[in-house]
Amino acid sequence: MNAKVEWKGRLTFTGTADSGFEVPLGSNPEVGGDDDGFRPMELMAVSLAGCTAMDVISILLKKRQEVTDYQVKVESDRAVQHPKVITKAVIEYHVAGKGISESALTRAMELSADSYCPAQAMLGKIMPLGLKYYIYEGEKIDPAALITKGQLR
């Protein structure tokens, strides 16, 4: 896998990789940026969420779960001092649908964490990663429709 960033001026870059898609990178005005793109550390969180999200939805669909809405969120803490690394993260899986099986969801989360998601495997070696889940009955993720929540790690 190869990636590059191309400078567009000030603290603005365009990132590309083998897939050919582009992603804008930028920074806060407080540090000389123009607030015109993802921060690099935000992309690490998005990569973690995206990697495990793809695994879990694939497994749930193979298990014939009737998923109608799905989100994966990452909440992370960063060190105060430079280099301001991410010190821990919690991955939250929000799944809505008809009769979603808690055991199917937790098994899919475990498989992603332990076998399939390289982002989770790498980051889990250097910091704690929590896993939480929320199951909603219905078409959309709606706090009023929450029927089950739990934590694996």
5-48 confidence digits (pLDDT tens): 999 999 999 999 999 999 999 999 999 999 999 999 999 999 99
**What is the domain partition of the chain in residue ranges?**
1-38, 40-151
Residue 118 confidence (pLDDT) above 90: yes
- CATH T-level fold of 40-151: GMP Synthetase; Chain A, domain 3 (3.30.300)
First to last CA, the chain: 30
Task: Please tell me the distance from the alpha carbon of residue 128 to that of residue 114, in angstroms, as a whole number.
Answer: 14
The whole-angstrom separation of Cα 41 and Cα 28 is: 13
**Alpha-carbon Rg of the chain, whole angstroms?**
18
Residue 85: half-sphere exposure toward Cβ, Cα within 13 Å: 6
**Looking at residue 41, what is its pLDDT?**
96
Strands 129-137 and 86-98: parallel
Give 60: exposed, middle or buried? Use CB within 10 Å, 0-12, 13-18, 19+.
buried
Q: What percent of the chain has pLDDT over 70?
A: 100
Residue 38 backbone phi and psi in degrees, to 5: -60, 145
Q: What is the pLDDT of residue 153?
A: 86
Residue 129 tokens, joined: 């990663």
Rounded to an integer, the average pLDDT of 39-64 is 98
Average pLDDT of 45-53?
A: 98
> At residue 143, what are phi and psi to the nearest 5 degrees?
-50, -30
**Chain segment 63-89, per-residue pLDDT in tens:** 999 999 999 999 999 999 999 999 999
